[in-house]
Amino acid sequence: MNRIKYASWFFLYLYLGILPLLVWPHYRVLVLVLGGIGATLVLLLLWRIIKDDLLFYGYNLMALLTLPLAMQFYNPYSMETIGVGYMLLTLLLLHMYMLRFKNKYEMIHRDTVIYVILASALGYLSVYLFMYYPIGYGLWGAIALMALILFMLYLILRPESKKRRNAP
């Protein structure tokens, strides 16, 4: 079962390894990206020592934020850019889920992997629809944004959420 752990670490290091390649000629941003990777590794090291959930989510967030930094010179409306970005994001998400479930439940079910890959595919499809069938800016854009914010607020404040940090 250690294969899951090896795979999860492989995904993270692959993700962190590809990030500097994306900004190779732009040295200023390269420094920023390397700083982000460094911060990720420091938080990762701390997490391996302290084993606190907050640090786990911290280093993953740092790795996630480094991705848009590394891709800032690419055209954000290009489907190729989005595709590369989503592939890298999938690597990071797979790392997160594999490591978390392996540590907590000593296994990861294929359902989780399928959902992660499906989410990336659906995200890509959403962007594709947005690019080729835009709902328009202005009024409709504002309504869509408000709806999104309300949905997010509902998700955050819903009463039946029973998540506990100190759970086993």
Partner 1 sequence: MVMYFVVMIFFSFVMLSPLPIFLSLPIIWLVLLSELWGEPFIAVKRAFEEKRYVEGNKVEFYYSLKGKGYYHVKDEVNTLTGYCRKKKEIKKNVTLDKFGMIKFRKMNIYVEDPLGMKVFVKNKKDRGELRVYPRIEYMRKLRITPRKTRTILGDYPSRRKGIGLEFTDIREYVPGDSMRHINWKATARTDRLMVNEYESERTGDTVILLDVRRFYKGAGEYERLLNASVRAAATIATYLSRTRSRVGLVIIGKGVDWIYPTYGKRAMYLIFDRLLYVRSKKLSALPFDYGKFIVSRFFPLNSFVILISPLLSWDIDDAVVELLARGYDILVISPTLVGEGEDLASRILRAERMVRLRRLMLYARVVDWDIRYPLTSILKVMR
Q: Which is closer to partner 1, CB of 6 or CB of 77?
A: 77
The residue type of 155 is L
Q: How far apart are CA 69 and CA 48, in angstroms?
A: 26
Give the helix, strand, coil percentages of the chain, each rounded to 5: 80, 0, 20
Q: Whose CA is closest to 60, among 29, 34, 93, 98?
A: 93
If binding is defined by CB under 8 A, does position 64 make contact with partner 1? Answer: yes
Binding flag, residue 144, partner 1 (CB under 8 A): no
Is 2 a binding residue for partner 1 by CB under 8 A? The answer is no
Residue choice 105, 134, 140, 142 for contact with partner 1 (CB under 8 A): 105
Report the length, in residues, of the chain. Answer: 168
Residue 85 lies near partner 1 (rule: CB under 8 A): yes
Q: Are 21 and 8 in contact (CB under 8 A)?
A: no
Residue 37 within binding range of partner 1, rule CB under 8 A: no
Of 104, 134, 140, 141, the one binding partner 1 (CB under 8 A) is 104
Say if CB 16 and CB 37 are below 8 A apart. yes
Interface with partner 1 (CB under 8 A): 57, 61, 64-65, 67-69, 71-72, 74, 76-77, 81-82, 85-86, 89-90, 93, 97, 100-101, 104-107, 109, 111-112, 115-116, 118-120, 122-123, 126-127, 152, 155-156, 160-164, 167-168
